[in-house]
Structures are given as structure tokens and as C-alpha cells.
Amino acid sequence: MPYAVVNFVRIEDAEAADRATNEVVLPRLRGLPGFAQATFLANEDGTRGFSVMVFESEEQAQTMADRLGSGQVPNPPGLAFEHQEVWRVVATG
């Protein structure tokens, strides 16, 4: 059963955050064991955002959440991690 890491962020520089997400974050995620897909979202004024990163297992998702929360993964340019939650994926469409 898939699980997702929902990662809440503060956006400090929208242009830098968009660039880092596309050029650094997403390519790194694609190389992780069990990674399935991710969606990155920002509010209208570009100050807050969150991502939903889906993994094949709860263990893989929890490992990613722990890495983000512990500071093992540095904040990408323009972003500051706030908190992460692991959620069970019920359905996708």
C-alpha cells in the first residue's frame, strides 16, 4: 500500500524555490527507493507551500519524513521546511 509524505514549507523566494524544486529536488526524489510520484503546490501569494511525495511503502515514506525533519536534507534555495506528516494513500485518479 502506498504512503505519502506531506511536507509543509515556507517559501522565502518563489523563483528560487521553483527552480530548485524542478532542477534539484525532483531529480533527487526520482532516485530514491520506492519513490512513485510527487506534486508540489504553492499558495496564491507564493509564501507557503506543501508537497505530496508518494512512496511504495510506509517505511519508505517514514524514512523520507524522518530525513526531512532531522535536517539531514538541507533546505533547497528559497524554501524552509516546517513539518512533515506521513499519510496513507487511499486513492488516486
Mean pLDDT, the chain, whole residue set: 95
Find all residues with CB under 8 Å of 74, minimum gap 6, and list them.
Answer: none
Q: Which domains does the chain have, with CATH numbers?
A: 3-88 (3.30.70.100)
Residue 77: burial class (beta carbons within 10 Å; 0-12, 13-18, 19+):
middle
Q: What confidence score (pLDDT) does residue 80 get?
A: 94
- pLDDT (tens digit per residue) in 6-42: 999 999 999 999 999 999 999 999 999 999 999 999 9
Q: What confidence score (pLDDT) does residue 84 get?
A: 96
Q: pTM of the predicted model, to two decimals?
A: 0.92
pLDDT at residue 93 greater than cutoff 90? no
